[in-house]
Structure 1
Amino acid sequence: MLKIGHRGAKGHAAENTLASFQKAIALGVDMIELDVQLSLDKVPIVIHDETIDRTTSSVGLVTDYSAKELQKLGIPTLRDVFEQVDNRCEINVEIKTFSATQAVLDLIDKNKIDKTKILISSFDWNALQEVRFRDEEIRIGVLTETDLDLALAFAKFIKAEAIHPYFHLLTAENVLKIKEKGFKIFPWTINEPEDITFVTSLNVDGIITDFPERL
């Protein structure tokens, strides 16, 4: 079962920062999960929200700032993270907005990133469809917090590798069904010991958590 650090090691360091990803690697993760938005100059930036209000000392939309300005506020570019991780673990890139899709794929190609180390996920299934249209090989994870059957059907349609469900959706029956169809299951975001015990008992393929050391 893969140990997947949510936004790095969010339970220990500021989310989606180089420090958080470094901490996750130090805690022995197999994969880090991160979020991508686009900057004003169309650079893939690692931040969850559409604004910088919650995670920096400044305010405003991510799209109002250049990549360099955002870096000065402690927000890394996706390229910064690729360079830092340097193949030490896999990276789950969650695309937060459809407009970032092309730029993410271009960055992976341009930097000759090993695609076996990348898994692209999104709640925006149009973005995932675009990823598959552009690249027949890259690994895809279908995010859902509502409908597993729909996610399963869509995963088949776009030849995804995994389904990333909200963990409260999972039962022994539907996990078995998903695995029988040949998909991996990477549920999120599981932090409490009793929840970790329950989800582990379902034989999922990996767990996304703020506290990787608890797995």
Structure 2
Amino acid sequence: MLKIGHRGAKAHVAENTLASFQQALTLGADGIELDVHVCATGELVAIHDFTVDRTTNGTGEVHKLTLEELKHLKVEGSYIIPTLDEVMEVIGKKCLVNIEMKGRHTAGSVSDFVNMYVREKGYSYTDFIVSSFQREELKIMSQLNPYVRLGILTQASVTQAWEWAEEFSAKAIHPHYTLLTKNNVNKAREAGFKVYTWTVNEQSDIERVKGFGVDGIISDYPERL
């Protein structure tokens, strides 16, 4: 079972920062989950929200801000919003990288990014999994690049995730842990899908979903896994 750090090690260090990703590795994560948007100048940046207001000292929509503008902001007072390339410099091939397509129009850029790392930097498609809640981004990615391993995120329905996984030839479903039962995990795995669940932080919940036989758990506390 993979131990996947949620936005790095979100419980310990500011989410989606290089320090948080490094901390997740230090705590033994063998996978790291992060969120990406495309900013106004075209770079992929690691940030969760559609605006910078919650996590930084700035304001505005991520896709309307240039990389230079984003780099001038401070996350929780002292950290910088990283590009996906900068994240990869920290993570390298040390663990699985789960890129969540958070912003709209991210599929093309993420496809190009993964392709470049596979073709030019010696990575494998199995070093990445690309997930999203957004049907349109999943659809575009499946059409653009069938080699990219897709994960279907859902907070509402394992059945819907399964249907989308079949439609888009995904490799995994990523249901919220409250949706899981031993039965639906077994059925999904028998159908050939990996099951990566999120965001599981309490030890009792971690032990329960481990008992269901999931393939990976995404947590703010990777050391608890």
TM-score per shorter chain, which class? over 0.9
DSSP-derived class of the 1:204 partner:
coil
DSSP-derived class of the 2:105 partner:
helix
1:93 aligns with 2:93: no
**Counterpart of 2:221?**
211
**Counterpart of 1:5?**
5
Give 1:137 deviation, angstroms. 1.4
DSSP-derived class of the 1:141 partner:
strand
**Counterpart of 1:131?**
141
Using the aligned pairs only, state the percent identity: 45
Contact 2:50-2:103 within 8 A present in 1 as well: no
Measure, in 1, the Cα distance between the counterparts of 2:15 and 2:171. Answer: 26
Runs of 5+ consecutive residues of structure 1 not aligned to the other structure: none
User: TM-score of the superposition, structure 2-length normalised?
Assistant: 0.92
Measure, in 2, the Cα distance between the counterparts of 1:27 and 1:98. Answer: 32
1:142 aligns with 2:152: yes
Give 1:129 deviation, angstroms. 1.5
**Aligned residue-pair number:** 215
User: TM-score of the superposition, structure 1-length normalised?
Assistant: 0.96
Contact 1:71-1:77 within 8 A present in 2 as well: no
Q: Which amino acid aligns with 1:11?
A: A
CA RMSD of aligned residues (A): 1.2
1:103 to 100, 109, 114: 109
Measure, in 2, the Cα distance between the counterparts of 1:3 and 1:107. Answer: 24
Q: Which amino acid aligns with 1:81?
A: V
1:42 aligns with 2:42: yes
Q: Which amino acid aligns with 2:222?
A: P
Alpha-carbon distance change, 121 to 60 in structure 1, aligned in 2, over 3 angstroms: same
DSSP-derived class of the 1:33 partner:
strand
Give 1:199 deviation, angstroms. 0.7
**Counterpart of 2:185?**
175
1:187 aligns with 2:193: no
Give 1:97 deviation, angstroms. 2.3
